[in-house]
Structures are given as C-alpha cells and as structure tokens.
Amino acid sequence: MTNDNSVVGPVVGVLLAGGLGRRMGGGDKPLNTLGGKPILDHVITRAAPQVDTLILNANGDSSRFSHYGLPVVADVIDGYAGPLAGILTGMEWAAEHVPDARWLVSFATDAPFFPENLTNRLVAACEEGQAQMACARSRDRSHPVFALWPIDLADDLRRAMVDEDMRKIDRWTGRYSIVSVVFDDEEGIDPFFNINRVEDLAAAEQLIRNRP
C-alpha cells in the first residue's frame, strides 16, 4: 500500500463472495472465467496491493478457494444475509486478527475493473472530511459494496443485524457521517461495472479484448 501507515495504520480488505449468484445460475459467480482466468483473479490482482491484509468472505466449503492462499471467512450471521453480513464478518475478523487496524475496505468480487487507487482515495476522503465512512460513486450511482468502514463500529452493526434484522446497507449507513468519492470512467469503462448476468460476462469479455 502507498498509505502512510504511521498515520492511518494497517488497512484490512474483505472480498465479498458470500452471495448465492442466482442471476448467474447459482454457484460461485467470481469463479466464472473472464479473459482466460476466474473473475476473482482479476479482483485479487487489483485489491491485494491496496491493503495490508486481505481476506475472502465466502460460505460453504472453503477448500475451493485454497489455492489463493487467503483466509476464507464465512458469514458470522446465518442465512445469507447479504453484503452487510460480509462487512460485519470482515470487521470482526479484523478486530481479532489485526487489532491495530482502524479501517476495513470492502470489494465486490463481480467487478473486475475497479480503481487501483480505491483504498487510498476512500481513506483520504474520510481523513480529510472527518467522516466515519466513505463510499465509492460513479456515473451518478453509489456503490456501497466498495466502501471504507471503521472497524470500531462492528458491535453497532452486529446489534443492528441481530436485534433489528438490518439487511440494507443504506439503512445502516444513514445513521453515520458518510462521504461519497466520485471515480471517473477509465478508458470509457464504468470502473464499477459488475457482472450479474451471463450477458454481463460477455460484455466484460468484450471490454477486456478492447483494452490496449
């Protein structure tokens, strides 16, 4: 990472792969092939240099991801409770394993083109604006799964999920100060283009072929 860790401290990243991938026919969406290798490979290549520690949030048999050499951590909330469960999982893992970390950054694992300076810009926005969290934005849309989270809010998030059955990210983040960080297109591509359907995968293949 290029952050000044003497100021920011270590940053933990969580790759959110805990969903069911229903719109892609089920299974592990990030293991679909893109440009000759799994989508997840593209995501890890971009995410790993941006953080000090990277973990993969995924449910089921963790051995299918063993060749990546990352800690694989299942949701700490049962029932496939959505991205908030993955964020809470990352927060609680970080609090236990990287106790001097202040920040957790989350990455979707179906978006292979996200910015290589994502973490630095989110951290800078929080530090400069004194906000509690930061969320990426592009093309007038927010991308709450690409966001920076204060690890010390883990207990608050757990209470919201368990006691209030909280599932929507925006409902929870609405309780705190949050700053949006706008990212411009890169080579005409929405940096947060995500692969939800089979046709999206075909479009991503075309985007990769057209890149210089």
- Model pLDDT for residues 7-43, shown as the tens digit of each residue: 589 999 999 998 655 555 567 899 999 999 999 999 9
Q: What's the rounded mean pLDDT across residues 110-138?
A: 96
Q: Look up residue 117 and give its amino acid.
A: N
Helices (H), 109-197: 118-129, 154-163, 169-173
* Crossing angle for the helix pair 154-163 and 83-97, to the nearest 10 degrees: 140
In a domain, 91, yes or no: yes
In a domain, 2, yes or no: no
- Which segments of 17-132 are extended strands (E)? 33-34, 37-38, 53-57, 72-73, 103-108
In what order do the strands lie in the sheet containing 11-16?
Answer: 72-73, 53-57, 11-16, 103-108, 141-150, 133-138, 178-182
In a domain, 24, yes or no: yes
In a domain, 1, yes or no: no
Residue range 182-197, pLDDT digits in tens: 999 988 899 999 999 9
Residue range 44-102, pLDDT digits in tens: 999 999 999 999 999 999 999 999 999 999 999 999 899 999 999 999 999 999 999 99
**pLDDT confidence of residue 85:** 97
In a domain, 3, yes or no: no
Q: What is the helix (H) or strand (E) element at residue 35, kind and residue range?
A: none
Q: What's the structural domain count of the chain?
A: 1
**pLDDT confidence of residue 20:** 57
**Full residue range of the structural domain in which residue 28 is found:** 8-210
Could you tell me the CATH number of the domain that includes residue 183? 3.90.550.10
**pLDDT confidence of residue 110:** 96
In a domain, 17, yes or no: yes
186 φ, ψ to 5°? Answer: -115, 115
Q: For 184, how many CA atoms within 13 A lie in the half-sphere containing its CB?
A: 2
Looking at the chain, the whole-number percentage of residues with pLDDT higher than 70 is 92
Give the SS3 label for residue 73.
strand
